[in-house]
Structure 1
Amino acid sequence: METKMLSTSASDLELAAQLINQGQVVAFPTETVYGLGADATSEEAVKKVFAAKNRPSDNPLIVTVASVAMVERFVSEIPDIAKKLIANFWPGSLTIIMRFKEGALSPIVTGGLTTVAFRLPANPMTQKVIELADTPIVGPSANISGKPSPTTAQHVLHDMQGKIAAIINDGATEIGVESTVIDVTTPVPTILRPGAVTPEQLEAVIGLVASEKRKVGQKETPKAPGMKYRHYAPDVPVYMVKPNDWKAAIIWAQQQLSTVGIMAPDDIIAAQQLKGMDFVWSLGSGVATANAKLFAGLRYFDNRDDVKLILVHYFEQDGLALAYDNRLGKAASGQFFVNEN
């Protein structure tokens, strides 16, 4: 199969919708990362997504919609708390887990659970494709499972060439990490995956929220992506570096026989006199830009044969840093650089 690279022209968006209606898989842009789309009501189409990603079958999929009316096709009612979240954060990078009508969605989509995650992304091109197809689409990130998520169409092509029908190219994504996932079926609404919508923003709308930080057991089915399996990881080891450890980390890296990739904010790069070095990836001026640049940097170094290890800046955990540190922590399997001197 040849994977077509589509533009955002009206004719190409129409073609993308036709491919989805034909049961094909099409990668689509969002404000967070690129997703892998197929008709959420077709078991055969959804199976193609699992095959393309090499995704575990018990890892449920997000259902991506173009309107609240699409959600209403699959749920008996939208809870009041979800209505508040929808009014404040949709379209946008918030995924909401609700109970769905029995038999309304295949167990392949839901992982056999009685709940399902819905999202209405802010990208107007993707909204248009879903409207034209007149069906919700599944929307996991458009990468091989376990690898860093794609923030450009070229990242998707690297992983999905020949595996899917088409990719809609809308340039680099703005946010760079996947959506916040909140479960509103629990006694206290619970964040299952942090993202660009922060706990503080959610609490301003619906009051107290909880955060689920435990790892799901081997025999459990996760309610949301990223709760059970290894995610976001390149082939080479990744170590997190706390701000005060960078000087020692740079000295250590320079002593290694193989190249060590460095991913750090601009102030760290300037302080350590690393500007312009080809083994350095800028994370920009702060955590917002770091979110947008994290996955691209991990992919850049993972594609270099000379880089055998990557050191990445760690931010203190609050606000947007929760999403960044969540993704980085999984890419690094929780490992920090330790200054032994």
Structure 2
Amino acid sequence: MSKLQTEILTSDASGLATAADVLARGGLVAFPTETVYGLGADARDNRAVARVFAAKGRPSFNPLIVHVPDLAAAQSIARFDDISLELAQAFWPGPLTLVLPLRADSGIAPLVTAGLDTVALRVPAHPVGQALLHAFNGPIAAPSANPSGRISPTTATHVADGLGGKLDAIVDGGACTVGLESTIVGGTPPALLRPGGLPTEEIEKITGPLAKAGDTITAPGQIKSHYAPNAPVRLNANAAHAGEVLLGFGPMQSDLNLSITGDLIEAAANLFEHLHRLNDTGKPIAIAPIPNTGLGRAINDRLQRAAAPR
């Protein structure tokens, strides 16, 4: 891929109109959602979607999430059963992705689904993401806007640092508020395919206990090594070893702290930004234990993948 001149766009009407035009011409645009920044392409354009995989260095067997403005748009792409419809009505817009049977006439490019007969759909809650979807007036396929397997981006600067020169434009909408990718649910009975920014406990109030995902990749974010800094990561550390930097949680001495008060919502919002900052030191990263409840389950999922053998 030849190097592009990546344009930084404002999130006002003019910037969004430019971004929508880039997408309509088969270009790539990074944009904010409440979870992380997405690397967007027209989900109906196979060539544009191929550019997403090339820009990220993403394996083609790893499907993408399709972002749409509302439930009606999602229903034109996929078939909903009673439970998935109840989940959509309860949590959309928001950090929940549903993997659903793809309609034959959906128009979604085959690369988006990695050849599967299902599609991952989400309605983002971020006002800039919503405004771009309305300006473009079509579905946008968008994985996280970072090199495949590396730390996810929660600011426009993170995107530019990781993918500058590989996409056409970045819409700067400020820092993401949730800071973790969406929770993904799919299948019959419904299974947790990826923990994320919506706590599993909230979903299970509707579904009952969620089944566990199988070994086959059916949704984004299921590759074992993912979200990884350049340096090694050591988990469940109560102190740093010589030469390490320490990412803390709760009241403790550390180089950076996800939440000094032990607030998991604050920790989730800080996770990727703090990993980016510690990654910039070039030193191995030690990370304090995180409670495995609520959003802590999603944080621990990301940290385990960040520390996995590469």
Q: Given the two structures, how large is their TM-score scaled by the length of structure 1?
A: 0.85
Q: CA deviation at 1:107?
A: 2.2
Q: How many residues align?
A: 304
**Does residue 28 in structure 1 map to residue 31 in structure 2?**
yes
For residue 155 of structure 1, what is the amino acid of its counterpart?
A: H
- Post-superposition Cα deviations, 1:107-132, rounded to whole Å, max 9, x if no partner, equal 21101111111000101111111111
- Residue in 2 that maps onto 1:161: 164
- Residue in 2 that maps onto 1:172: 175
Distance in 1 separating the partners of 2:145 and 2:47: 18
DSSP-derived class of the 1:268 partner:
coil
- Residue in 2 that maps onto 1:337: none
**Does residue 291 in structure 1 map to residue 268 in structure 2?**
yes
Distance in 1 separating the partners of 2:228 and 2:289: 16
Q: CA deviation at 1:229?
A: 4.5
- Residue in 1 that maps onto 2:218: 223
Contact kept? 1:177, 1:292, Cα under 8 Å: yes
Paired residues for 1:109-124 under 5 Å: 109-124=112-127
Distance in 1 separating the partners of 2:199 and 2:182: 10
Q: CA deviation at 1:266?
A: 4.6
**Does residue 86 in structure 1 map to residue 88 in structure 2?**
yes
Identical residues among aligned pairs (%): 40
- Post-superposition Cα deviations, 1:86-126, rounded to whole Å, max 9, x if no partner, equal 11100000000100113632321101111111000101111
For residue 8 of structure 1, what is the amino acid of its counterpart?
A: S
- Residue in 1 that maps onto 2:244: 260
Q: Highest CA radius of gyration, 1 or 2?
A: 1
DSSP-derived class of the 1:95 partner:
strand
- Residue in 2 that maps onto 1:208: 209
Which is further off, 90-99 or 60-69?
60-69
Q: Quick one: which of 231, 237, 245 aligns to 1:236?
A: 231
DSSP-derived class of the 2:293 partner:
coil
Contact kept? 2:11, 2:172, Cα under 8 Å: yes
Distance in 1 separating the partners of 2:273 and 2:119: 29
- Residue in 2 that maps onto 1:311: 286
**Does residue 145 in structure 1 map to residue 148 in structure 2?**
yes
Q: CA deviation at 1:206?
A: 2.9
Q: CA deviation at 1:227?
A: 1.4
Paired residues for 1:57-68 under 5 Å: 57-68=60-71
**Does residue 330 in structure 1 map to residue 309 in structure 2?**
no
DSSP-derived class of the 2:235 partner:
strand
Q: CA deviation at 1:52?
A: 0.6
- Post-superposition Cα deviations, 1:134-183, rounded to whole Å, max 9, x if no partner, equal 11001100000010100111000001111101111111111111000000
Contact kept? 1:94, 1:119, Cα under 8 Å: yes
Distance in 1 separating the partners of 2:9 and 2:289: 36
Which is further off, 295-304 or 141-150?
295-304
Q: CA deviation at 1:316?
A: 2.5
Distance in 2 separating the partners of 1:172 and 1:314: 25
Instruction: Flag as ranges the 4+ runs of structure 1 deviating above 4 A.
Output: none
Distance in 2 separating the partners of 1:48 and 1:117: 19
Considering only aligned residues, what root-mean-square deviation do their CA atoms show, in Å?
1.7
Q: CA deviation at 1:42?
A: 0.2
Q: Given the two structures, how large is their TM-score scaled by the length of structure 2?
A: 0.93
DSSP-derived class of the 2:285 partner:
strand
Contact kept? 1:146, 1:229, Cα under 8 Å: no
Contact kept? 1:121, 1:127, Cα under 8 Å: yes
DSSP-derived class of the 1:122 partner:
coil
For residue 290 of structure 2, what is the amino acid of its counterpart?
A: F
Q: CA deviation at 1:223?
A: 0.8
Contact kept? 1:84, 1:206, Cα under 8 Å: no
For residue 264 of structure 1, what is the amino acid of its counterpart?
A: G
Distance in 2 separating the partners of 1:264 and 1:157: 27
For residue 298 of structure 1, what is the amino acid of its counterpart?
A: L
DSSP-derived class of the 2:251 partner:
helix
For residue 244 of structure 2, what is the amino acid of its counterpart?
A: V
